[in-house]
Structure 1
Amino acid sequence: MTDAPQGWTALVLAGQRPGVDRLAAHFGREAKALIPVAGEPMLARVVRALADAPQIARIIIMAQDASALVADPAVAKAAGDTRIDARRSGRTISGSVLDAVNDPAIGLPVLVTTADNVMLTPATVAEFLAAAGAGDVGVAMVERGNLERAVGSNRRTWLTFRDGAFTGANLFALTGTSAVNALRFWERVEQDRKSVPRLAAHFGPLLMVQLLLRRLTLADAIAAAGRKLGASAAPLLLSDGRMGVDVDKPEDHALAERLLADGRA
Structure 2
Amino acid sequence: MTQSVTQASCLVMAASRRGVDDPVAKIQGLSHKCLVTLDGQVMLERVLEALVDSGCFAKIHVSVDRADILTATPAMKRWVDEGRVVFVQSHGNLADSVLKAVAEIESPLPMIITTGDNALHTPEIIRDFVRDALASQADAVVGFTREEVVLQDYANSGLAFHRLKDGGFSSCNLYALKTPNSLKAVKVFEGGGQFGKRHMRILKAFGVWPFIIYKLKLRGLQGLMDAIGRRMKVSVDVSWLDYPWGPIDVDHKHSFDLTEETLIKRRLAAQQD
Paired with 1:117 and 1:191, the residues of 2 have a C-alpha distance of: 15
Question: Secondary structure in 1 aligned to 2:228?
Answer: helix
Provide the residue aligned with 1:169 in structure 2. Answer: 172
Shift of 1:116: 0.5
The percentage of counterpart residues that share the same residue type is: 25
Paired with 1:170 and 1:191, the residues of 2 have a C-alpha distance of: 10
Provide the residue aligned with 1:249 in structure 2. Answer: 252
Paired with 2:79 and 2:39, the residues of 1 have a C-alpha distance of: 16
1:73 paired to 2:89: no
Provide the residue aligned with 1:258 in structure 2. Answer: 261
Change (3 A) 1:191 1:239: closer
2:93, 2:191 within 8 Å by CA — same for their partners in 1? Answer: no
Paired with 1:38 and 1:176, the residues of 2 have a C-alpha distance of: 38
Provide the residue aligned with 1:120 in structure 2. Answer: 121
Aligned residue identity for 2:95: S
TM-score by length of 1: 0.89
Shift of 1:152: 3.2
Provide the residue aligned with 1:230 in structure 2. Answer: 233
Provide the residue aligned with 1:101 in structure 2. Answer: 102
1:143 paired to 2:146: yes
2:63, 2:87 within 8 Å by CA — same for their partners in 1? Answer: yes
TM-score by length of 2: 0.87
Paired with 1:34 and 1:227, the residues of 2 have a C-alpha distance of: 39
Aligned residue identity for 2:139: D
What are the equivalent positions in structure 2 for 1:17-166 lying under 5 Å apart? 17-19=17-19, 20-65=21-66, 67-74=67-74, 75-103=76-104, 105-132=106-133, 133-166=136-169
Aligned residue identity for 1:71: T
Q: How many residues are treated as equivalent by the alignment?
A: 259
Paired with 2:214 and 2:102, the residues of 1 have a C-alpha distance of: 30
Shift of 1:28: 1.6
What do residues 150-185 of structure 1 show as CA deviations (whole Å, max 9, x unaligned)?
3333211110010000111111111122111112x3
2:8, 2:108 within 8 Å by CA — same for their partners in 1? Answer: no
Shift of 1:78: 4.7
1:179, 1:231 within 8 Å by CA — same for their partners in 2? Answer: yes
Q: CA-atom RMSD, angstroms?
A: 2.2
Provide the residue aligned with 2:188 in structure 1. Answer: 186
Aligned residue identity for 2:239: L
Paired with 2:239 and 2:112, the residues of 1 have a C-alpha distance of: 13
What do residues 43-101 of structure 1 show as CA deviations (whole Å, max 9, x unaligned)?
00011111112221210111111x12112124324544422111111111111111222
Change (3 A) 1:110 1:164: same
Change (3 A) 1:41 1:78: farther
Question: Secondary structure in 2 aligned to 1:100?
Answer: helix
Please list every run of 5 or more consecutive structure 2 residues that lacks an aligned counterpart in the other structure. Answer: none
